[in-house]
């Protein structure tokens, strides 16, 4: 099994998640239940979330916390040893577990350790540009090496998409003053809109599954704050089982040469179009904008720091490049 990323393993969005992770454990409020968690999620999501996904998430979230603890996650505890749970977002009961203000980082840490322990190969130097599909069946992905620009062809029985992209939360209808008041340190956070089967998280492409920010179902803005991390764990287990089953059952796979050539030509064309501005054509404006927003948040919002931010942004754009 190969897990591919285009950022350092301590630098995906997951490490920014500081609020916590939801599960109806009832450690602090014993009257809590998965049913109440589901009700809060559906209500907060304006009834847009798929009820089946919500049920699966809320039923399985306690198991996800158990797994994390088993793998060594250090979550906050009360003096008597119970896990601490707090309010976060529109919860009826205290059900958010956390590790200081670095919950996502802690989860990422134990998951990486666990993945390495069970022999998953992790690579963080490949930028994937295209999924390879033949006749409705996925057979891998294509991209390029971020260090030297060489092309990368990855063939696989199944692919799990676990990255954001595509859907922007448009809040332009809100007044600027209100946005700054309510979201003073807002990050640009895009989430994917890949359609999946609510139970298996399989997509319409055979062998392709989606999870996490590629498929946020029960998390804000269509669900409840701090459900995202729980979704990654709960549905991460689901897609892992599904992908393994798919692979076991696969008899024959066609690796379509023309799909590979097309993907390669696409990368060649993008790299040939290199402009002094740097890689946004390739790496995506969204990724850079996200990095710039982080710099902006770090810089604060005074006019002096806004000027500093503009300088930093220009500098970052100039200094980032991708080698052909």
Interface contacts to ligand FAD, rule CB under 6 A: 4-7, 12-14, 16-21, 104, 126-128, 143, 162-164, 187, 189, 212-213, 226-229, 232
The upper half-sphere exposure of residue 280, i.e. CA atoms within 13 Å in the direction of its Cβ, equals 15
Smallest distance, Å, CB 98 to ligand FAD?
A: 8
The upper half-sphere exposure of residue 77, i.e. CA atoms within 13 Å in the direction of its Cβ, equals 8
Q: Compare residues 152 and 309 and give the one whose CB is closer to ligand FAD.
A: 152
Provide CB contacts within 8 A for 186, sequence distance 6+: 179, 293, 297
Left if phi > 0, otherwise alpha if psi is -120 to 50, otherwise beta: which for 149? Answer: left
DSSP string covering 128-185: EEEEEEETTEEEEEEEEETTT--EEEEE-S-EEE----SB----TTS-HHHHHHH-TT
Smallest distance, Å, CB 252 to ligand FAD?
A: 28
Q: Compare residues 12 and 207 and give the one whose CB is closer to ligand FAD.
A: 12
Is the peptide bond between 221 and the residue preceding it cis, with omega within 30 degrees of 0? yes
Q: Compare residues 132 and 232 and give the one whose CB is closer to ligand FAD.
A: 232
Smallest distance, Å, CB 160 to ligand FAD?
A: 10
Give residue number: closest CB to ligand FAD: 212
Q: Compare residues 158 and 250 and give the one whose CB is closer to ligand FAD.
A: 158
Smallest distance, Å, CB 79 to ligand FAD?
A: 24
Smallest distance, Å, CB 114 to ligand FAD?
A: 14
Q: Compare residues 250 and 320 and give the one whose CB is closer to ligand FAD.
A: 320
């Amino acid at each position: 099994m190969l897990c591919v990323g285009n950022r350092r393993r301590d630098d995906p969005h997951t490490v920014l998640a500081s609020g916590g992770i939801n599960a109806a454990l009832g450690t602090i409020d014993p009257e809590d239940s998965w049913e109440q968690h589901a009700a809060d999620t559906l209500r907060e999501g304006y009834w847009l979330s798929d009820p089946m996904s919500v049920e699966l998430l809320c039923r399985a979230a306690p198991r996800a916390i158990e797994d994390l603890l088993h793998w060594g996650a250090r979550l906050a505890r009360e003096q008597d040893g119970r896990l601490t749970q707090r309010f976060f977002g529109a919860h009826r009961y205290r059900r958010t577990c956390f590790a200081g203000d670095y919950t996502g980082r802690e989860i990422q840490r134990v998951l990486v350790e666990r993945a390495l322990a069970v022999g998953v190969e992790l690579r963080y130097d490949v930028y994937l540009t295209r999924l390879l599909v033949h006749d409705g069946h996925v057979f891998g992905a294509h991209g390029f090496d971020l260090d030297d620009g060489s092309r990368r062809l990855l063939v696989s029985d199944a692919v799990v998409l676990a990255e954001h992209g595509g859907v922007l939360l448009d809040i332009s209808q809100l007044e600027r003053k209100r946005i700054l008041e309510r979201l003073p340190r807002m990050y640009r956070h895009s989430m994917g809109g890949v359609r999946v089967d609510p139970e298996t998280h399989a997509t319409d492409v055979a062998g392709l599954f989606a999870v996490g920010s590629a498929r946020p179902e029960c998390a804000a803005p269509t669900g409840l704050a701090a459900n995202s991390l729980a979704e990654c764990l709960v549905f991460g287990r689901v897609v892992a089982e599904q992908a393994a089953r798919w692979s076991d059952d696969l008899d024959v796979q066609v690796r379509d040469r023309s799909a590979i050539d097309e993907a390669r030509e696409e990368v060649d064309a993008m790299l040939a179009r290199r402009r002094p501005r740097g890689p946004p054509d390739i790496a995506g404006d969204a990724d850079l904008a996200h990095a710039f927003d982080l710099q902006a948040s770090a810089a604060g919002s005074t006019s002096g720091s806004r000027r500093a931010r503009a300088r930093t942004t220009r500098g970052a754009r100039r200094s980032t490049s991708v080698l052909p």
